[in-house]
């Protein structure tokens, strides 16, 4: 065989390998583009999930605040779950109708104790009719601190 006879075969082989390399390169570039596109989608999805998580946490936090406000309104006398003692200049029990007196039976019952006697006790043997929860410096001997639900 003469060199000139091999030449077309060589040209065909070179052209074939060149086309195969271009195709492989194109596939690699397309794959890189697809990978980049998918990566961007994943990042966007991750960001949206983070936002949703924060929104859910914000809603849950708002629900906690609502629950705390309900507890406070249910037991304003409680030192940790309510408002604690009041610091009004009249250091007597604060009644449900916001009157300051030791006799709250006609005023809706005791709402808060003064800071001079900050703890509202479980025992309800105080007041004019001895049916009100006692305000004391310590609830030892008075049944302990009044529960938030009672």
pTM given for the model? 0.50
pLDDT at residue 28 in the model = 53
Strand 94-95 relative to strand 110-112, pairing: antiparallel
| Structure-token pair, residue 31 | 């794959």
Q: When comparing pLDDT for 128 and 58, which is higher?
A: 128
Structural contact between residues 122 and 146, judged by C-beta atoms closer than 8 angstroms: yes
In this prediction, residue 123 carries a pLDDT of 92
Listing DSSP states for 32-88 in one string gives HHHHHHHHHHHHHHHHHHHHHHHHHHHHHHHHHHHHHHHHHHH-TT-TTTS--SB--
Tens of pLDDT, residue by residue over 89-123, are 999 999 999 999 999 988 999 999 999 999 999 99
pLDDT category at 140 given cuts 50, 70, 90 is very high
Contacts of 86 (CB under 8 A, 6+ apart): 94, 112, 113, 114, 115
As given in the structure block, the two tokens for residue 124 are: 């309800």
């Amino acid at each position: 065989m003469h060199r000139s006879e091999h030449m077309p075969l060589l040209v065909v082989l070179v052209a074939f390998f060149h086309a195969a390399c271009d195709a492989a390169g194109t596939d690699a570039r397309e794959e890189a583009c697809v990978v980049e596109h998918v990566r961007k989608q994943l990042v966007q999805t991750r960001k949206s999930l983070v936002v949703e998580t924060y929104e859910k946490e914000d809603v849950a936090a708002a629900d906690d605040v609502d629950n705390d406000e309900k507890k406070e309104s249910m037991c304003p006398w409680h030192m940790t779950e309510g408002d604690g003692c009041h610091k009004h200049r009249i250091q007597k029990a604060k009644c449900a109708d916001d009157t300051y007196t030791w006799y709250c039976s006609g005023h809706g019952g005791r709402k808060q104790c003064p800071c001079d006697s900050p703890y509202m006790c479980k025992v309800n043997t105080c007041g004019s009719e001895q049916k009100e929860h006692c305000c004391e410096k310590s609830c030892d001997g008075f049944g302990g601190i009044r529960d938030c639900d009672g």
